[in-house]
């Protein structure tokens, strides 16, 4: 499954990649919630990597 987020509208779009994923999405709110959490976890990790270091004396 792929999750896209439109920051202008605040809308998530979930795209299943197989028939099994379509069925799973229809029956599992937990899977959808995990996709959203994983999306934001990846953004936080990416932000930490791109944040400049504030070390003194370096």
**Residue 8 lies inside a defined structural domain of this protein:** yes
Domain boundaries, position 38: 2-49
Please report, in tens digits, the pLDDT of each residue of the chain (58 residues total). 787 888 888 888 888 889 988 888 788 878 778 878 887 777 666 666 666 655 554 4
Predicted pLDDT of residue 39: 79
Tell me whether residue 54 is in a domain.
no
Q: Does residue 26 sit within a domain?
A: yes
Residue 13 is assigned to a structural domain of this protein: yes
Whole-angstrom distance, CA of residue 37 vs CA of residue 32: 9
- Residue 10, domain member (yes or no): yes
Q: Which residue has the tokens 């070390």?
A: 55
């Amino acid at each position: 499954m792929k999750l896209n987020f439109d920051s202008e509208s605040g809308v998530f779009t979930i795209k299943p990649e197989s028939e099994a994923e379509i069925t799973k999405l229809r029956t599992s709110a937990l899977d959808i919630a995990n996709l959203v959490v994983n999306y934001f976890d990846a953004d936080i990790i990416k932000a930490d990597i791109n944040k400049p270091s504030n070390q003194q004396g370096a």
